Each structure stands twice: as C-alpha cells, then as structure tokens.
Structure 1
Amino acid sequence: MAMEVDLLLQEAKESIEAAQNYRSELQQRLHGLNQARKQVRGSSGQARETLRRHFAELQAAAARLLAERLGVLMAEVDAIEADSIKPLDDCQSLIEHGVGQADELLREGEAALRTSLDEKEDKLGSFTKKALQIQLDSLPEVPALVDVPCVSAQLDDSLLSLFRDGVSRHGAVSSHPPVQIEELQERPGGILVRWCKVDEDFAAAEFRLQYRRSGSGGSQYEEAFKGRDSEFLVLHLDPHTDYLFRVCARGEGRTEWSPWSIPQTGYTTLAPHEWRSGTEGYILSSRKNIALRNDSAHSRCPVLYSSGPTYYCGQTLTFRIMAAGPVDRRDSVGVSIDGKTEEESLQRDGAVCISTNGAVFVNGKEMTNQLPAVTVGSAITFDMEVVTLFPVSNNNLSEGGNFKLRVTIGSGNREVVFDWMVEQPTDCFFFGCSFVHSGWKVLVF
C-alpha cells in the first residue's frame, strides 16, 4: 500500500512538473504572440503615419508648384496686355487731341461766318490759315482687330492625366521588407552578417547594412556596408555585447531604398585577433589587428605572432594585405602550433603558411600546388577542422604525427586543401607573419 502511495505521489509530482513546464512554454508562446501582434500594430501605425506625412508633403508641394506656375502665366498675360495696350493708348490720345482741334476750328469758322463785313475778310483769312496748319486731310491709322493681340490661355488635360497615372502608381505597401537578415555568425571581434531576398520579384541592385548597440538609448545606426554583396563581416565589435543589425535594398533603375528589414540581434563571444606587442621590426595599430613591417636594416626575418593561440578549428582566419613592400622568398603568413620567437620564418616545422609568391608550405616543405601571388588587397583565408585521431605507432610518428587536421587555404578565386599531421592533439593555434623588407601591412580578422 505504501509503495502504491509513493508511486502515486511520484506520478503526481511528475504531472505537476510537466504542467509547470507546459504553462511556462505556453506563457513564452503568449509572449511571442504579443511581440508579433505588437510588431504588426506598431509597423502598421508607422506605415500609416509615413503615408499621411508623405502625401501631405506631396499635396503641399503640388499646390505650391501649381500656384507658382499660375503666377508665371498670369505675369505673362499682364506683360502682353501692357505691351499691347500702350500703342492703343497712344493712338487714342492722338485722336482725342485731333478731335479737340477740330472742335475748336469749327467754333472759329462758325464765328468767322457770323462777323460783320468789315471784319469778315480778316477772320476768314485767319480761319483758312489755321485750317491749313491742322492738315484736315491727315488721319491717324487705327490697327485692325486682326493685328491687335487677342490674349488666350492654352490648357489641356494632359497634365491631369499624367498626374493621375503617376499618383495611381506612386507608393506601395508590403507586408514584409524585400530583404531580410538570414544569418549572424560570430567571428573574433566581429559578426559575419548574411542576408537574402524574400521577395523574388524584387530585382536588387545594391544593399545597405547598418548596426548599432542594442539598448543604447536610441543611438543612431552606423553604416557598415553598401554594395552588391549579400554578406559582410562587421569588425571592431565588443565581445558579449548585443548589437542590432538591419539591411535594405535598392531596385534596378530606382533611386529610393526599400524599407529596412526587421532588426536582428547578434553578438560575439570571441575576442578580436591581436598581434603580439613588442616584436622587433613591427608597428601595431591601436587595436593591434594591423601590423606594419617597418625595419629591414638587418637580414634577419623576424616572425610576428599573435598575442596567444586565439585561432580555433572551425573558424575562418583571414589576412588582408593592405600594403606591400619588396618581395622575398621567406615572406609568409600562416598558422603555427607554437609562437617560437627564435624562428626566422613561418616556413618551418609545426606551421602551415603561404609565401608572397603563392607557394604553400607544410612543416617547412613546399607543396606542389600553388596559389596566386600575394599583392595589395589580397585576402588569404585559413580554415581548419579536426579529421581524425590515429593510435600512436612508429609508422604514424614517421609520417609526422598521429593527429590529422584538414586545412583549406584560399587566395583570390583558388584554394588548396590538404591534411596536416601533427604529433599532439590541439584545436587552437597561433597565427603569424614574416617579412624581410619593410612596407608590408597586414590586417588579421
């Protein structure tokens, strides 16, 4: 009986725990549902406000442009009217002056006819002389109506038709932005951001990527990338810090950018790669991720290593050549099991590297396969993964070890893949570079 009670008690506890987990899961789903509802409501409100503001600005601008055009046309009418009326006013003044002279002459002639015989001859003579001076047979010319401007306004409905067509196609509303962030991969001191189109009908010509710290009090987004690529490595990020990323696109033949994608949160737990401070012949940037070979007064080729074994299998290590100096066959960039300062080149045992002429070295031995020569702008990538462990035996040791690593070195559009046998199991490595002459500058990430 006691066993049955204990069993029932255990089942009850398990049911209670299951119910608690079930309730917790449902509450999380409710929270997710509320977040989704909030996004729909919030984005819809923002879209409405954007539409209202945009069309209000269009209305104001259209009214202003129409008023300005009306003012120009009215000014043209005023100018034509003023230029055309002036000669008519001048002609009217001339005719009115002639009518006044004629009235005065008529009065004098009638008065001369009424005078006595003693004065008639003098009066009539004076009248006749004045009449000759006025030139009663000379009349001013009045322009015909066909020669006088008849001002009119030529208007048609083409503008309204074009405006109607333009307005009917202006603006669009979509339920999702045409591009979204697809993946966020942590990298040392940075995050690799990949995005993709979600609207197959949208022909993207260019993308923009922006980021900012999460929860930073509304700080502005920073521009990280603009171009045609669909991925970008954002560097100089603080580890264990949340960052928000968003992307938008511009269509072929368009000037406006699409709406921003839904911001995605990403972070990196990996500290940024750093070169080792204090190595003779090299100057480091403030972040210690850029090294400049600055002293070639001696023939020794010092190797500059990382500050520690910070490169791990499964990551991608990249060297970008920012400046180049004179070439030497001992020049190399690569990875090594240790950071021996007494070595003069990475072309040694316990290291894999690529020289500036494109030759690949494994444990100091040159491979048959070769990559393109290293120049300014070259990006050399190293990818490593653990393949298998072999049991220790004399045969294994004669081959160089019992721990196999698959190494992929890429440069330009080519890559070399090979297996690297090492004696001790390890998944973390130093990275390094060695240059004989000054002028070489290398960024590592």
Structure 2
Amino acid sequence: MSIEADILLQEAKESIEAAQNYKTELQQRLQDLNQARKQVKGSATQTREVLKQHFRDLGGALTKLLDERLASLLLEVDTIEQNSIRPLDDCQKLIEQGVGTADELLREGEAALRCSIGGKDDKLCSFTKKALQIQLDSLPEVPSLVDVPCLSAQLDESLLGVVRERIFSHGTVASHPPVQIDELLERPGGIQVRWCKVDDEFAAQDYRLQYRKGTSGLFEDVYVGQDMEYIVLHMDPNMDYQFRVCARGDGQREWSPWSIPQVAYTTLAPHEWSTGTEGYSLSSRRNMALRNDTALSKGTVLYSKAPTYFCGQTLTFQIITAGQVDKRDSIGVCVECVNGQETLQRDRAVCISTNGAVFVNGKEMTNQLPPFTLGSTVTFDMEMVNLYPVNNNLEGGSHKLRVTIGSGSREVVFDWLLDEPCDSLHFACSFAYPGWKVLVF
C-alpha cells in the first residue's frame, strides 16, 4: 500500500472517529434537551396543580368566611327583632286586658240600666262605683313608629371592587426561582454551598438552605440567615447529597419557590483531631476538641489524626468556648507532628496565638490579628508559589507556600519557605489553660 493510501486510510479513520464523537456529543445534547423539556413540562404541571389547589382552598375559605359573616348578621337581626318586639307584646297584652275589662264593664252597665228601669237602683250604684275604680280615662302609651326599631342592612358595595382588585393581583407565576445555587465546593467532610439572586428586583431578607442524602426522601433545613453561602458538615464521603435554597422577601412571611435542586458529593475525608492526647477531650465526630483541666503543669499540643489539609483548600477553626489566655497558645498547621512540645510556635509550623500574634517557623511577625473571643473564626488558605533550585538541583532548593490567615475582618499574607515539598499538612492547637473548645472544618 502506498503512502498516499495510508494517509487516506488514516484520514478516513480519523473522520469516522470524529463523526462518532460528534454523534455522541449530539446525543448527549439531545438528552440534555429532553431533560430541559421535562423540567419545563414537569414544573408547569406542578405549578398548575399548586395554583388550582390554592384557589380551591381560597374559594372554600372565602365561602366559609362569607357564610360565617352572614350567619352573624342574621343573628344580630334576630336579636334586635326579639328585643324590640318584647315591649310591644307587653303593651299589646295590657291593651287587650283593658279591652276585656271595658267589655265586661259595658255588659254590667247595660244590665244596671235595665234594672234601674224596673226600680232597682242598687245595681246601678254598684256599677258606678266599679267604673270609678277602673279609671276609664287612663290609657296605655303606644310608642310612635319613629321610636321603634326599623331594621335595615348597610352593605358596602365597594367591597367587591376591593376584593376583585386583590384577587386579580393575588399570586404570580415566575419562570425562574429568585435564587439559585451558584457553586458547590468540596470541603473535608462537607460541601460549601454558595447561591446568588437571579431576580435583581427581589429584595431578599433571609435565605433558607435545605439538603437531603441521596435524591429521595425528605429535605431538612440546614441554614436560615442572611449569608449567601454555608458549609454543610458531617457528610459521608463519596455519597450524593441534594441541595436547594429559597428566599424570603423583605417584610414577607412566605418563602419563595425552591431553586432547582443540585447534586454534589465530597471525596475528602473530614478533619479529625487525634485521640489519646492528654489534656484534651474530643466530640463524637472528633472535629471538636476541649482543653480540660488535666496536665496543667505544661502546655500540650493536639495534632490532627492525619495530614488532611491540602493547598488550595480553606482550613477553618472556630472558637466555641474561651479560657484563660497564655502566650504559648496557638492554632495552625505544621509539616509533621512533634511530641512533647508545649506550643506550636516552632520550626516548620505557622500559627496564630490567642492574643492575635502570628508565628512563622517560631518567629513572631510584626503584623497582628484580633485576639480570640467567643465565636471567633480563623481561616488558613495556602497555595504553592514556585521552587527555587540551588545549583539547578531541586533537592536542595526552597519551596514557597503563600499563606493567608484571616480572623474577623482582617487578614495577613506572607510566604512560608520550606526545605522540601509538602503535599499535605497537619493542623494542630495548643492551650495552656482549660476551657478552650475549638471546632475544625
């Protein structure tokens, strides 16, 4: 076979491979497109059901309220009618009683007149005395029509207009939730979740983050507040977790629709303190250490279980409780664990003391950070800068790490020179007095 034929054959194979890759990419895009279509269709169907159910519930509630108000007004009418009719009934009884008395008196008078014609005057005398006792000139008072109730209903015809206006403006339909998850970052034993607003007109007062293990089951709240990021801890490595976030508008009680759920997992083992160090007790997950009241005669350094801090990550310490301050106190990272030390302020380590002093290889820097207080958070960020060979021999060179230590609203940045490359570092702490409790993540 000639060279030209070989070239043509190779080009044909490359074209076939390119076509296959092209087909694969197009099929993947079709799957993505179908997924997008399902999201539109599914969310539209769900939104329709939510709207129908809401307005059914609202209609039922409004009907119930109207029925209750009608019943209340009718009861008020009944009460006024009964209270107004009662004195009229009493007056009627009194008049009817008077009419009966007058009828009886008339009959007696007619009988007395007939007897007087026959010469019998005693009955006429008796009748006259009885008529004088009855007080025929005393009549009961009947109230005039203006003095008795005339019931009517006062109904505000503008209510329908107000209700109509409120109903016509009730509810909105949005094509996107006002907030979406923007970034999911691996952290040791956790995921750092960041979100952002996608609706600039939505004035958010609070955010609410939920997650669940796997892609089924119930979501649970993990954060509610004003921050737009949160680190979810205590997560199993290499296990899928699903996250979603929503927001509450300024002055509102209701939460917005949830963001589109995002799936993430961490491959990084959680940070853990080493067990068995005298003077310290650990939490069940071994990410929280408490300096207890043993071994008070000397300072003690507590190291991590393994060198789990890598360049490019953020290592965070949080002060849960505070104790008495000592100049030997320190929190930081180191190349190796050295037993028998009273402090981390030594060679091949960088740390910050509880008074805010920063130490690099045991030497105190001029820059200081705020002293530790209850709730203080200290972060360490490191990145590899470059290598400086000696006589073109990397083995004898210096390795530079750019370190950023943050505490509160302040931070210090410096270069840390090491005599050998270091892929991972231990974290450590030392406290001279009990009462200090520190969480690492």
Q: Say if 2:80 is the partner of 1:80.
A: yes
SS of aligned partner of 2:115: coil
User: Which of these residues, 431, 434, 441, is aligned with residue 435 of structure 1?
Assistant: 431
CA RMSD between the two structures: 1.8
Shift of 1:301: 1.0
CA 1:401–1:280 in 2, change beyond 3 Å: closer, same or farther?
farther
Tell me which residue corresponds to 1:143: 143
> Partners in 2 of 1:292 and 1:142 — Cα distance?
92
Task: Name the aligned partner's letter for residue 336 of structure 2.
Answer: D
Shift of 1:118: 4.3
SS of aligned partner of 1:114: helix
Which of 330-339 and 163-172 deviates more?
163-172
SS of aligned partner of 1:55: helix
User: Which of these residues, 320, 327, 333, is aligned with residue 331 of structure 2?
Assistant: 333
Tell me which residue corresponds to 1:24: 24
SS of aligned partner of 1:120: coil
SS of aligned partner of 1:390: strand
> Partners in 2 of 1:98 and 1:116 — Cα distance?
26
- Give yes or no for contact 2:237–2:265 (8 Å, CA) kept in 1: yes
Q: Say if 2:166 is the partner of 1:166.
A: yes
Shift of 1:116: 6.3
User: Which of these residues, 398, 406, 409, is aligned with residue 413 of structure 1?
Assistant: 409
Q: Say if 2:422 is the partner of 1:426.
A: yes
Q: Say if 2:275 is the partner of 1:274.
A: no
Tell me which residue corresponds to 2:187: 187
Tell me which residue corresponds to 2:99: 99
Query: Deviations for 1:290-339, whole angstroms, at most 9, x for unmatched residues?
Result: 01111344322111101111100111001111111111100000000101
CA 1:393–1:9 in 2, change beyond 3 Å: closer, same or farther?
closer
User: Which of these residues, 210, 234, 237, is aligned with residue 236 of structure 1?
Assistant: 234
Shift of 1:433: 0.3
Query: Deviations for 1:168-227, whole angstroms, at most 9, x for unmatched residues?
Result: 221110000000000011110111111000001111111000111123xx3111111111
- Number of aligned residue pairs: 440
> Partners in 1 of 2:196 and 2:116 — Cα distance?
119
SS of aligned partner of 2:390: coil
Query: Deviations for 1:14-65, whole angstroms, at most 9, x for unmatched residues?
Result: 3332222222111111111111111111111111111111111111111111
SS of aligned partner of 2:120: helix
Which of 182-191 and 119-128 deviates more?
119-128
Task: Name the aligned partner's letter for residue 280 of structure 1.
Answer: E
> Partners in 1 of 2:243 and 2:169 — Cα distance?
31
- Give yes or no for contact 1:113–1:120 (8 Å, CA) kept in 2: no
> Partners in 2 of 1:198 and 1:307 — Cα distance?
42
CA 1:296–1:110 in 2, change beyond 3 Å: closer, same or farther?
same
Q: Say if 2:296 is the partner of 1:298.
A: yes
Tell me which residue corresponds to 2:177: 177
> Partners in 1 of 2:161 and 2:251 — Cα distance?
24
- Give yes or no for contact 1:296–1:436 (8 Å, CA) kept in 2: no
Q: Structure 1 unaligned runs (5+)?
A: none
Query: Deviations for 1:51-83, whole angstroms, at most 9, x for unmatched residues?
Result: 111111111111111111111111111111111
Q: Please report the TM-score for the alignment, with normalisation by the length of structure 1.
A: 0.95
Query: Deviations for 1:259-299, whole angstroms, at most 9, x for unmatched residues?
Result: 00000111111100010111111111111100111134432
Tell me which residue corresponds to 1:368: 366
Q: Say if 2:314 is the partner of 1:316.
A: yes
Shift of 1:108: 2.1
> Partners in 1 of 2:33 and 2:227 — Cα distance?
34
CA 1:171–1:51 in 2, change beyond 3 Å: closer, same or farther?
same
Tell me which residue corresponds to 2:203: 203
> Partners in 2 of 1:380 and 1:128 — Cα distance?
117
Q: Structure 2 unaligned runs (5+)?
A: none
Shift of 1:157: 1.7
Tell me which residue corresponds to 1:352: 350
Tell me which residue corresponds to 2:262: 264
- Give yes or no for contact 1:205–1:249 (8 Å, CA) kept in 2: yes
Which of 2-11 and 170-179 deviates more?
2-11
- Give yes or no for contact 1:402–1:422 (8 Å, CA) kept in 2: yes
> Partners in 2 of 1:124 and 1:116 — Cα distance?
7
